Amino acid sequence: MRVVLSSDHAAIGLRQAVAAHVAERGHVVEDIGPITTESTHYPDHGAAAARKVAAGEADLGIVLCGTGQGIMMAANKVRGVRCGVCSDTFSAAMIREHNDANMLALGARVIGEGLALDIVDAFLTTGFGGGRHAVRVDMIKALES
């Protein structure tokens, strides 16, 4: 699986840990985030990763900022992206199984590295459940006008 990662300046360290973890799991990682802690704008980074997912250049995306909220909002503005911010493994599994999320957002100031890696594992290993959930995902897609 191809996974793109990006973050703002607040989440560089956690993003790099997540990228290494994802690569260790055998996935192809494209880390497009900044490498210095100089202040950057999370909308730019969330949109850049989301565009890669939407274009099919990556199967899934993981984006990070201080809370995960702002970068998630930016990613969701890209047509075809369904990104959820998660602070627990149950939510990460459910956004994949029920919502066919193709992006995950994490808050570096909200969760620690150990929990973040567990959340990433839940996100990457859970598949879409289809069935009644497919109808709802189609409804979400129909909102993109």
Catalytic residue selected from 27, 41, 98, 133: 98
Instruction: Please check whether residue 79 is in contact with residue 37, taking contact to mean a CB–CB distance below 8 angstroms.
Output: no
83 annotated active-site: no
Catalytic residue selected from 9, 21, 45, 65: 65
65 annotated active-site: yes
Residues annotated as part of the active site: 65, 98
